Amino acid sequence: MAAAAPTLEWERELAAQGYFAVAGCDEVGRGSLAGPVSVGVVIIHPDTARELPGVKDSKLLRVSVREALVPAIIDWAAASAVGHAQAPEIDALGLVSALRLAGSRAMAQAAVTVIPDFVILDGNQDWLSAPEQDLFSHSHEAEAAVAPWRIQTRIKADMTCLSVAAASVLAKVERDGIMTGLAQEFPAFGWDSNMGYGTVAHKAAIASEGPTDHHRKTWRLL
């Protein structure tokens, strides 16, 4: 049986609690061996937003459908953005801090248009907020920690919350475009099909060609 489409039910519950601008946030590329980790943000006004037919968790959609939905999502959202942390940043910072960096970049870009007061984060880990010990530092993590929005995680939010599903589509399409472009420069690794994930063919290419600057060199690549 097909999964139920995501709705605005929870976003509207938040509106009833007084939240004016709600951001859905999702990441893609967490488990990839190459390329960036990317975070999509879609901000809506849930008291006036309408349902957006066809939008689902990006993993459930064909490539052509995802790509066709992007203009509709951008028009539907009050604000949207995708942020990235590149492989060298992942190696230098670690995955969680790199996710935070990518998310902070996306939030900063989207907040130029609309500042959210609530963020729905897919999953059960809040990787967007800064660790408590960094609250008084001057890092990008501290900036995220004092940001004027509440963050709440929600398991499978990309399958139930429309704003998060929309964010997942934007992040997936933009990151796939990056990997497809890099595949032209590094054709041996098949990034236009595996998107940097650890397929057998990708690992075989790493073994024969060696890693590139777009590989996460601190990871176990083989």
Instruction: Print pLDDT tens along the chain (222 aa).
Output: 467 899 999 999 999 999 999 999 999 999 999 999 999 999 999 999 999 999 998 989 999 999 999 999 999 999 999 999 999 999 999 999 999 999 999 999 999 999 999 999 999 999 999 876 554 444 444 344 446 799 999 999 999 999 999 999 999 999 999 999 999 999 999 999 999 999 999 999 999 999 999 999 999 999
pLDDT at site 139: 46
134 assigned to a ligand binding site: no
> Any known ligand binding at 176?
no
- Residue by residue, DSSP assigns 141-200 as HHHHHTSSSEEEEETTHHHHBHHHHHHHHHHHHHHHHHHHHHHHH-GGG-HHHHTT---H
Q: What would the CATH number be for the domain defined by 9-178?
A: 3.30.420.10
- Is 213 known as a binding-site position? no
Q: What is the pLDDT of residue 136?
A: 46
